[in-house]
Structure 1
């Protein structure tokens, strides 16, 4: 398996593939790979001749320095997992901060037509500028035909689609369904940091989402939101940061349901000091 740490090296390798008319897929990750990531890579392998998996903990998308410091970095194990999928058709790009940003790791400023101001944007200042900056740079370096993102970070997926549209970047964005543990918890690299009692409690998040979806069939968005808030108000271990019912396309909070709109429920919860997010389609 080829592992690259310099942008010039990976760019030259990709140029060689494209000279042979090979298709290239990109799966951007921050490492600490789990089955959710591997499903993205499997999808990319199915669609493309070669897949580039980037592994980079991007400092500009963390608004919490402690979260950045504690984020798991497991490159050797990540490479081993990827070799289990393919030893010849996967390139790993694991750059340094200096390779991506030089001496000044700061974000570009983006306008995502308001998508960045909803939900996560209200609680994580500058987060989506960091996401947009690093994903755009990976697109410019790798120049993939297709790029794959999980729907667990649904707002991020919509924002990347918007960036590609507004900047005329020639890449097809593929959203892939949320991968869950057997008890329903959305797979996340942060799950490994959960203390046992919080890990045991965490499936309550998805159970609540499923019931909220059921209620949404007969109740208003406000009534469903109030119900969810009540569920968490009495929970000993899980602290609700937000629950929002939004239009799928614009991510704007729902004021009144309409038959011709698609809706999605989004949630962020603290389990001790670990922040967990999830979402579910409502129709």
Structure 2
């Protein structure tokens, strides 16, 4: 009789060890595993189910504009108003003791309205290949090309100056369409600078240079103001894209209130000048945010 009892106890102990070796995993399930928030800001709730006694939240990228918390069986995400036209993103890791889920969070940027270009001028134009007006006629297949006869006009800095319709409330986004005619690359941009004239642009400011490009002193200092009251708001480099038809979108780091004029200056001289020292572009579009 004693032998039978010992055998039973040993069997119980054996199965108990196996249960510890293979624990039941924690359940954690979200009905929707991402969040998209409107530009004006809002609070959204993502329902979830879990068997975990508690969950921890970790923001994976810094985002002072966004807060997250758990209320019951909901992940509650609140975002303040996005005053930029650029969308912004972050993510939060929701973790139990033995598993986790990453929830991407995206907030839309403010909607934009295209500004009306009423005219302007340029440093030069090759009359038989396209006028300055071709850069804002709504057709990317037409283009402006700088004058190249005589050859002394090559490898000079080229410029385009646009007048904006009165009542344009802000300038926030600039879209540049490369010359696409026949796939031609002649005149496509290398280093270029954007200058704007409007309310407050006569006051120098500090604008961070995030281009990562060695400018060798060309184009001036970001945030500086020239003698005509234009502020340098952006320095770009399309050199790597010269061989392909492309679109360049520039979101200004500073919103320009009541913009009146926008000036583009293309570096003509090598290296990093416009293709073959010429200048050309298919279309320029200017946008301001809608408040």
Normalised to the residue count of structure 1, the TM-score between the two structures is 0.25
Higher helix share: 1
Q: Which has the higher contact order (CA 8 A, sep 6+)?
A: 2
